[in-house]
Structure 1
Amino acid sequence: MGDNAEKALPRWQEVFAGLGVAGYRSYGHTSVQRFGPIGNVHLVAGQNNAGKSNALRVFAELGPLVSKGAFYQHQFDIAGALPDGWPTNQPLVVSIGLRLTDELMDLFTLGTTNSEPYLREFFEYDLFSHGSHGVVWFDYDIVIEENRCTPKLRGDVFQQRIDSLRTPEISQTISQVVSIGNLGSVSPSRDAMRLVQHVNPWRFFPPVTQLAAARQLTADDDETDLIEQQSVSGRGLIKGLQNLAHPDSSNRRRDAPRYEAINRFVRDVLDDAEARIDTNARGTELFVKTNGVDRELHDLGSGIEHLVLIAVASTLAQDTLVIIEEPELFLHPSLQRKLLTYIGNQTSNHFLASTHSAHLLDSASSSISHVELVDGFSQARPAIEPGERAALVSDLGYRASDLVQANFLVWVEGPSDRTYIRELIRLANSNLVEGSHYSVMFYGGALLRHLSFDDPEVDDFIKMRAINRKAAVVIDSDIDGAQRTAINQTKQRVVDEFRNDEFGLAWVTAAYTIENYVHHDLLRQAVADLYGGKTLAMELPDTKSPLKKGSVMGRKSEPSKTLIASRVIELASESGRTWTSAPWRLDALEMAHRLAAEIGKANGN
């Protein structure tokens, strides 16, 4: 099948996809919770006490163990190696996710030819991928007994995969590769495990730098905290920056671009094209030259100081996974976004951060894990799709005062629709208040009435749902019973988008427009009050708009729907006023109660 040539080792940034854990602190032992696939910036978000810090902690604690070779060995001593908090009396599982890149698959082939497609098909299995396309997860039981810790690759999934194969070619290929690689062929499932153990997934676990929650710039001479796999609290940052600003000749080519990247970031943050960060000659003080004046960094405010500290520490560390607790602390939303752009694009690192910030979560460049506390245990799930991200943001408890996002959005065609919908919601639940529990936004009737199914503007409206997935849309059916017996294709597309969502509600009017919901006598009285006694036509069929052009007798122009809507609400609420029937027709009140229930659910009621 070929020679057993040595394959070049891919960089961890190309292969490492994430980490999973079970039986660790708040993470229960019944199922592995997986963080990934991770991108250049991976955010862990959720409510307080959900388990975000524990997720970061397990990454940080595994780093030193892996760097010491603990997972390369069959066993390692507990003394001095096992981190505090690791359980010794219950099962612990850690899982590593790898991307099935061509370079990784080359390692699995052991230099053999024609085996790669079979091996790739073997690993592209649901119980290996756990829903992450192109990723394989390997689970390890951490067995602790008699002061020895043994990482054991779980074999059940390998046997299940072998059992699922319909033809023998894949299992035969695995055994052939293992035999050629002199790994000792035993059985197809054991052979597959030996192949994984030989490649050793843990060689792709990244070196880790942890930036501690308490951060303060100091002039400590010891800068090793910033460039090795240890916790960083700010010690040595000034000295480290000085070395970048004034490198010796051997490091100038490496360090000058990194120092310039920091200065570009500072200029962007301060909006000063001439701004520059530097230290004094002794490396004991850090200052920023802005607007022609040298100023100490802390004089620019805690937010700027905090921002620069993260940027400098992230630049000093190279080719590591930098772990940060709540980078948004003290930062205005615009600075949060600038920081995310810098650390994701201007350094050689990947970043793992816990956050409560919706401004960071809105970033299209970051991958996200959503952590929730379920039955007393932390559960993690990826929140990659826009709908999942919005669910995550709502879980954080944001309100309209915190975000350009309401608790619940009601999309309507225009101002008159807003007037009717607001009143109908009040009738269904008088405790719901616009601006507090929900907001009404306009999409414009022409958008859905005249544009084609695949028009870019319709695409944009659907994408705009990412603003807030907790939303409803109210749509005039425009069904006339003759030329149109169903809503058009464009409206149906929007309806499907809203209905295929946990919180979505699509309200298509039972008649032609929302005005058809108003009792005919009430609508006629409102028109008469506004237009000097003129009234509507005697016939008001549900297949036509009652307020179209020429509908008011003796008036050629189209009546004002907005004014009429306001007058309708005034008349309907006047005390002592009686109508031959309820003011609202068809399914108006039924749909209003459904809408109010969705709003209440979104507000935790």
Structure 2
Amino acid sequence: MLQGIKLNSSLEEEFSGSRYFGILSNIRKINTFVGVNNSGKSRFLRTLFSQSKGTKFIYEIDEETILNILNQTKEIIRIIDSLKAYGIKYKYWNSLNSLSETIEKNEVDVLNNILDIYWYLSTLDVHEFELTQNQYENHLRGTISQTKSYVTNLGNLINKLGKDNNKIEKIYIPILRGLRPIAQSEDSFSTDDIYLNRTKHDYFQAEIPNGLIFTGLSIYERVKRLLLGDESERNEIKEFEIFLESNLFKKKITLIPKYDDDVLHIKIGNETQFPVHKLGDGLQTLIIILFPIFINRSKSHLVFIEEPETHLHPKWQRLLYRAMCNIENHTYFISTHSSVFINSPSNSIFIVSKKNKKINLHYSDVKTEKVQILKELGYKPNDLYQTNFLLWVEGQSDKIYLNYLIQKVDNTLIEGEDYSIMFYGGSSYKHFLMNKGDLNLDFIESLNQNYALIMDSDRSKSGERYNPKKKEIVNLFKKNKSYCWLTKLREIENYIPIEVFKESVKTIHKVKNIQLDSSQFGDRCKYIDLNSKPTYKPSIKLSNELFSKIQKNKNGSLKGIMAPELRKEIEKSLNNTKQTINTIDKIKVAEKIVNTGFEMENDELNKKIIALVKDIKKAND
């Protein structure tokens, strides 16, 4: 089973990636490359197809190599562990230790775990440690320096992984493909494969060892040659016809290279045979793609396909996907914009984008429990991958406000094209930012390399401290030079002019006179209808002052509390029940507010939205 591909070192000038050491890991049977147009998807596929010399293919890693890697890793872990005696704690200790144990047990994804360990160790820095006493900082720096030689040895072992494999069989199916000869010569059409000639001229002028480029134009001659061959060759066509019947047509299929024609003919069930070009373009596409990978099924191939969804209805795309999976030996590499291929749970998804004038590759695992949470929120993988910028907000009303604010700063930006906004559901942000007990951006980065996060502070007054975990998240984003806004005010609603907010609540809830907390840190999601008739309730709430007196008794008694004081407290609490506190419909109110429109009067809001728009435009540039 192919685990990874080690690219020729010269290609590192063209390609980059998170935790990237020139190795493409997380390889599965079908590997999908997604990204906007001109991001470099097809170029990377052609590079993999043509760069066999100097490129290593990593299959199973032998036990001796794993043992050597493990020994180097354990030595570094031992050195880091010695810092505990000085009160110095490594923030990512749990993740590092877990990865080491996983490799020792020789569990699945060994290559990926090795690369993760190397990333942690090769990027060791002082800020990744917690010091209880600053006097030991120099000792920490010395210890980090001590690990460098071991990290270098570990890197050398990783660099030797895999083997040169110029003999590996490869198939490339370009975007330029078809079943009908199109080059006309006098009154007939030339059988010359001009798609192949053009593809070679543009992309593959050098010879590709064991590389088949199949455009479909040669299918007439290929089928004819096999039908005129020996029994095993003739049987190949019969097997392919059965394969088409069971996977696509659900009827008996016969392929016929008619002697007085230049295109393949086909007979479906009891119908009269006809030229294959009378089939829909979708069925022709399926035959073009499936023919070379089926005929070569007896031997493992790397199969590279450019945008297999071209001309295919989503139903046919699903048929193609299943048919490809039914051919066991091959490993597929696909560039696509198709939601069918992106949303398939058994794929490996690689996000391709332009970054610092390089083609940036980033693996995203669609099988994690975190993606399952996103699915429960109503998102599909293609919603997340096929966007240039991903903005995370707390709820659906925040998404409504942020879309309005972004448009207000730059109305040329379009959601779904230039950026996407997704809500993470309040405190569930922890699901997306926690990994093995550590706070990190692995999952968010796996979805998109350009991202931002907005969090409500939920503070009830100006001097109140921020939630420590939220502050830690802000620092994490800052470390990764990514946008993160933790609001100073309670939540996004508090940045909207109070009169605009109040009028929208009155309109949506059909009330004329309301009491609303208008302070900067007030909860605007609650209101009191001042015109409603008083309806006293049996449940009352004691004031904190009175309750603290009761608490001092430690037995729940009213000892020391005078009857007039208690009577006054009950009357006051009972009187408060006559005003019913209502909860606003946040989404409908938000929609009303943005339809009415409002000005960005708050300086913090103005600066933060302008900075956000700048990041979105940078990602799109």
TM-score of the superposition, structure 2-length normalised? 0.52
Give the equivalent residue in structure 2 for 1:385: 364
How much does 1:279 deviate? 1.8
Confirm or deny: 8 A CA contact 1:412 1:441 kept in the other structure: yes
The 1:311/1:532 distance shift into structure 2, 3 A limit, reads closer
In structure 1, give the amino acid aligned to 2:494: N
CA deviation vs aligned residue, 1:238-264 (integer Å, no higher than 9, x gap): 576689999987689998766544433
**Contact in 1 for aligned 2:392/2:452 (Cα 8 Å):** yes
Aligned partner letter, 1:332 = L
Query: What do the CA deviations read for 1:518-568 (whole angstroms, capped 9, x no partner)?
Result: 34455456667776651425x644444134153656474445555655665
Query: Quick one: distance in 2 between partners of 1:488 and 1:553?
Result: 42
Identify if the C-alpha distance between structure 1 residues 522 and 598 changes in structure 2 by more than 3 Å, giving closer, same or farther: same
CA distance in structure 2 between the partners assigned to 1:313 and 1:477 by the alignment: 58
The answer as to whether partners of 1:535 and 1:552 remain within 8 angstroms in 2 is yes
Q: Would the alpha carbon gap of residues 291 and 527 (structure 1) be closer, same or farther in structure 2, given more than 3 Å must change?
A: farther
Correspondence 1:591 to 2:591: no
- Does residue 277 (structure 1) correspond to residue 253 (structure 2)? The answer is yes
Match of 1:151 in 2: none
**Secondary structure, counterpart of 1:512 in structure 2:** coil
For residue 245 of structure 2, what is the aligned residue in structure 1? 263
State the partner residue of 1:314: 293
From 486, 492, 497, the equivalent of 1:514 is 492
Q: Which amino acid aligns with 1:18?
A: I
SS of corresponding position for 1:587: helix
Following TM superposition, by how much is the alpha carbon of 1:297 offset from its aligned partner in structure 2, in angstroms?
Answer: 3.0
Deviations 1:9-50 (A, max 9, x none): xxxxx468435335689969xx99666665434556776595
In structure 2, C-alpha distance between the alignment counterparts of 1:252 and 1:297, rounded to whole Å: 20
2:320 to 301, 325, 339: 339
CA distance in 1, matches of 2:362, 2:455: 30
Structure 1 residues 127-526: aligned runs within 5 Å: 201-202=163-164, 205-211=167-173, 214-217=176-179, 230-234=212-216, 237=219, 260-267=242-249, 274-280=250-256, 285-287=264-266, 289=268, 296-318=275-297, 319-324=299-304, 326-328=306-308, 330-332=310-312, 334=314, 335-336=316-317, 338-353=319-334, 360=341, 364-366=346-348, 368=350, 370=352, 382-385=361-364, 408=389, 410=391, 412=393, 416-418=397-399, 420-429=401-410, 431-432=412-413, 437-438=418-419, 447-448=425-426, 470=450, 472-480=452-460, 486-487=466-467, 499=477, 505-520=483-498, 523-524=501-502
In structure 2, the CA distance between the partners of 1:304 and 1:560, relative to structure 1 (3 Å rule), is: same
Q: After superposition, where does 1:92-111 map in structure 2 within 5 Å?
A: 94-102=54-62
Which letter does structure 2 place at the counterpart of 1:298?
A: H
The answer to whether the aligner puts 1:602 opposite 2:619 as a matched pair is yes
CA contact (8 A) 1:412 1:440 kept: yes
Q: How many residues align?
A: 444
- Residue by residue over 1:365-385, the C-alpha shift from the partner in whole angstroms, topping out at 9 and shown as x without a partner, is 24648485966xxx5664223
SS at 1:18 equivalent: strand
| Residues 477 and 275 of structure 1: CA distance in aligned 2, closer, same or farther (over 3 Å) | farther
Shift of 1:210: 4.2
496-505 or 425-434: bigger deviation: 496-505
Question: In the TM superposition, what is the alpha-carbon distance from 1:317 to its structure 2 partner?
Answer: 1.0
Cα distance in structure 1, aligned partners of 2:12 and 2:461: 63
Which secondary structure state, in structure 2, belongs to the residue aligned with residue 384 of structure 1?
strand
Q: Kindly state the Cα deviation for residue 425 of structure 1 after the two structures are TM-superposed.
A: 3.2
The offset of 1:315, in angstroms, is: 0.5
Distance in 2 between residues matched to 1:202 and 1:481, nearest whole Å: 64
Alpha-carbon shift at residue 480 of structure 1 (Å) = 3.8
> C-alpha distance in 2, partners of 1:240/1:497?
61
State the match for 1:21 in structure 2. 8
Preserved contact between residue 301 and residue 329 of structure 2 (Cα < 8 Å): no
Equivalent residue for 1:56, pick from 36, 40, 46:
46
Give the residue type in structure 1 aligned to 2:523: S
Q: Is 1:550 equivalent to 2:528 in the alignment?
A: yes
Structure 2 CA distance for aligned equivalents of residues 463 and 117 of structure 1: 27
Cα distance in 2 for residues equivalent to 1:291 and 1:511: 74
Displacement of 1:308 in angstroms is 1.1
Q: Mind listing any 5+ residue stretches in structure 2 that lack a counterpart?
A: 75-110, 116-147, 182-190, 197-209, 367-381, 436-441, 533-578
**Aligned residue identity for 2:288:** L
The residue number in structure 1 matching 2:557 is none
- Cα gap change, 1:41/1:478 in structure 2, threshold over 3 Å: closer, same or farther? same
Q: What's the CA shift string for 1:387-411, capped at 9, x where partnerless? A: 9xxxxxxxxxxxxx99995555555
How big is each residue's C-alpha offset from its partner over 1:148-174, in whole Å with a ceiling of 9 and x where there is no partner? xxxxxxxxxxxxxxx9579x9x9xxxx
Distance 1:124 1:362, change over 3 A: farther
Look up the SS of the partner of 1:478 in the other structure: coil
Sequence identity percentage: 17
Range with bigger deviation, 354-363 or 584-593: 354-363
Sort the Cα spacing of 1:513 and 1:246 in 2 relative to 1 into closer, same or farther, 3 A: farther
Q: Deviations over 1:391-448 (max 9, x none)?
A: xxxxxxxxxx9999555555556665455434433454455456765555566xxx42
Of Structure 1 and Structure 2, the greater helix share is in: 2
